[in-house]
Amino acid sequence: MRFISETTSNGVSERLFTLGEISGVLWTPADAAGSRPLVLLGHGGGQHKKAPAVLAHAHHYATTRGLAAAAIDAPLHGDRPKNEEGDRLLAVVRERVAAGEPIAGPLAEYNAALADLAVPEWRITLDALQHLDDVGAGPVGYWGVSMGTGIGVPLVAVEPRITAAVFGLASHESLADAASRITVPIRFLLQWDDEMVPRASGLALFDAFASPEKTLHANPGGHRDVPALELESSGRFLTRHLVEAYVAAA
Amino acid sequence: MRFISETTSNGVSERLFTLGEISGVLWTPADAAGSRPLVLLGHGGGQHKKAPAVLAHAHHYATTRGLAAAAIDAPLHGDRPKNEEGDRLLAVVRERVAAGEPIAGPLAEYNAALADLAVPEWRITLDALQHLDDVGAGPVGYWGVSMGTGIGVPLVAVEPRITAAVFGLASHESLADAASRITVPIRFLLQWDDEMVPRASGLALFDAFASPEKTLHANPGGHRDVPALELESSGRFLTRHLVEAYVAAA
């Protein structure tokens, strides 16, 4: 893991890093010393590691909650190179949108192809982050909706270090199987009028998680209309579980 | 409104009252002076104005939130007299339970019959409560699930003084029409494995509210398994809306 820049603003230290092909960013409270819980932030499709929604969550965790947060560019996103197969899969999605046809199928296929690459990248990033003095090997949470769920569900299904997760805005088709292997506490966000995810398919994905503790929060509006209060609420949820685990391990 | 007893415990003043046929209870912070927002608490079927769930909410609002809270016995419940028609409707529900048949239909009919009586009783109780110095004519919220929703939805549909409400654990059949006339912010609790309310019917009732701001919270488990954290969360929701309205009116 090679740090290529460090800046501080509004009480948050932001460090850009690379790790082989991976490009990422780590946020910590500016005065951080010692280990602390870590939240992995998965960005949405077409976005990148410093997209506005990711930054809002990163600053929330570092300032309001005193935790560390990290994001990496998904394959084909942000600073990562594009490739032909990715372009082909995206073109299918765009043709469907243009034709007014359902996109859940091709979108799930695109996200699944990215997840195959992204899951091992997240895991080696987590290995490296846990060696840092101001992160450490404490409890880890995951937050990511839409494509962040398309990658996050397969990740959390295989990564035992992640002990709580926020997902949402995703269809069940390609994810139900991985979801059925997840047992950690889950918060699931669903938009009641999501134009990209059929309501029944989102409800089916929530249903698929094996987690004894899981809560669905559904709000009116489309894919991009998640109420701002859900940031605060998911921050409370993740922090409660991660800090409880941190105290229990101490 | 005639107060028949006043006791104080754990920082909460509890006053039992009668108002004509109505038997009720008012909780305020023990040191309350001046007006404050009021939360009306609707108990569940077979319960009464001081059932454990009602008391837990009443103490939460009076201590953690500094608000006033009130409950009345629903018709045929608590200190209220039974009658033949009520017994007949309940007998139908019990026969269905014994036969392992769906009860949503007869239960909705029973709740609708009670609501016809309870709605005007809540409204005259509210008139009287708002004349008290330590309640006043400020913003009013409603919390009630199961039968508390069966009565609460028709109440909130006709009572403009109630500006935010928590509902849940109820079917849409006899309530969707009243719900479609409600536009205030709504929190809706649904139990994913509710043995008394079919999942699709609960989702349909959430769907029916005309409120631009409404949030569904769904959790695994049966009708009586609402997680304790939802008390805290709905307390935060109601208080935010009532206190905002209170400050805006000041």
Say which amino acid occupies A43.
H
Q: Which secondary structure element, helix H or strand E, spans residue B203, and what is its range?
A: helix B199-208
Lowest mean pLDDT of B18-27, B58-67, B108-117, name the range.
B108-117
Residues of chain A contacting residue B225, judged by C-beta atoms under 8 Å apart = none
The secondary structure of residue B237, as a DSSP letter, is H
Residues of chain A contacting residue B204, judged by C-beta atoms under 8 Å apart = none
d(CA B229, CA A108): 33
Q: Is residue B91 scored above 90 in pLDDT?
A: no
Q: Is B207's CB within 8 Å of A216's CB? A: no
Write out the two tokens for A73.
């560019």
> Which pLDDT score is estimated for A92?
86
Longest distance between any two alpha carbons in chain B, whole Å: 56
Write out the two tokens for B18.
């009668």
Q: What are phi and psi of A189, to 5 degrees?
A: -100, 130
Which domains are seen in chain B, by residue range? Answer: 2-81+110-249 (3.40.50.1820)
Three-state SS at A196: coil
A225 touches chain B (CB under 8 A): no
The secondary structure of residue A60, as a DSSP letter, is I
Residues of chain A contacting residue B217, judged by C-beta atoms under 8 Å apart = 215-217
> Which pLDDT score is estimated for A244?
84
Q: Is A213's CB within 8 Å of B220's CB? A: yes
A218 touches chain B (CB under 8 A): yes
Nearest to B111 by CA among B44, B177, B158, B54: B44
**B154-B106-B77 Cα angle (round to 5):** 65
> Which pLDDT score is estimated for A173?
86
What value of ipTM does the predicted structure carry?
A: 0.89
Burial A100-131 (b: 16+ CB within 10 A, else e): eeebbebbbebbbbbbeebbebbeebbebbee
pLDDT above 70: percentage of residues in chain B: 100
Q: Is residue A97 scored above 80 in pLDDT?
A: yes
Nearest to B206 by CA among A11, A193, A170, A25: A193
pLDDT above 90: percentage of residues in chain B: 80
> Which pLDDT score is estimated for A103?
83
Q: Is B220's CB within 8 Å of A206's CB? A: no
pLDDT per residue as tens digits for the range B159-208: 999 999 999 999 998 899 999 999 999 999 999 999 999 999 999 999 99
Mean pLDDT (whole number) for A156-168? 98
- Length of chain B, in residues: 250
B241 touches chain A (CB under 8 A): no
Give the residue on B whose Cα is nearest the Cα of A210: B220
> Which pLDDT score is estimated for A171?
93
Q: Is residue B219 scored above 80 in pLDDT?
A: yes
Q: Is residue A250 scored above 80 in pLDDT?
A: no
First to last CA, chain A: 27
d(CA B91, CA B93): 5
Contact B162, B181 (CB under 8 A): no
Mean pLDDT (whole number) for A84-105? 85
Residue A201: partners with Cβ closer than 8 Å, 6 or more residues away: A104, A171, A172, A173
Mean pLDDT (whole number) for B123-139? 96
Residue position matching structure tokens 């939360």:
B39
Give the residue on A whose Cα is nearest the Cα of B226: A215
Mean pLDDT, chain B, whole residue set: 94
d(CA A47, CA A52): 9
A212 touches chain B (CB under 8 A): yes
Q: What are phi and psi of A177, to 5 degrees?
A: -65, -50
Q: Is B214's CB within 8 Å of A220's CB? A: yes
Task: Select from B182, B187, B192, B199 the residue whose CB has the most chain A CBs within 10 Å, as the one to mutate to test that interface.
Answer: B192
A207 touches chain B (CB under 8 A): yes
Most confident of A172-176, B106-110, B144-148: B144-148
d(CA B143, CA A221): 24
Q: What are phi and psi of A161, to 5 degrees?
A: -75, -20
B32 band by pLDDT with thresholds 50, 70 and 90: confident
> Which pLDDT score is estimated for B23?
97
Q: Is A219's CB within 8 Å of B215's CB? A: yes
Q: Is residue A100 scored above 90 in pLDDT?
A: no
Q: Is B219's CB within 8 Å of A214's CB? A: yes
Give the residue on A whose Cα is nearest the Cα of B233: A233
Nearest to B246 by CA among B143, B136, B152: B136
Q: Is A220's CB within 8 Å of B206's CB? A: no
> Which pLDDT score is estimated for B59?
96
**A66-A234-B236 Cα angle (round to 5):** 100
Residues of chain A contacting residue B212, judged by C-beta atoms under 8 Å apart = 220
Q: Is residue B136 scored above 90 in pLDDT?
A: yes
Mean pLDDT (whole number) for A97-110? 85
B219 touches chain A (CB under 8 A): yes
Contact B197, B226 (CB under 8 A): no
Minimal Cβ distance to A216: which of B212, B213, B218: B218
Mean pLDDT (whole number) for A98-102? 86
Minimal Cβ distance to A215: which of B203, B212, B218: B218
> Which pLDDT score is estimated for A40?
98
Mean pLDDT, chain A, whole residue set: 94
d(CA A67, CA A1): 20
Q: Is A216's CB within 8 Å of B216's CB? A: yes
pLDDT per residue as tens digits for the range A19-78: 999 999 999 999 888 999 999 999 999 899 999 999 999 999 999 999 999 999 999 999
Q: Is A215's CB within 8 Å of B216's CB? A: no
Q: What are phi and psi of B230, to 5 degrees?
A: -70, -25
Q: Is residue A116 scored above 90 in pLDDT?
A: yes
B187 touches chain A (CB under 8 A): no
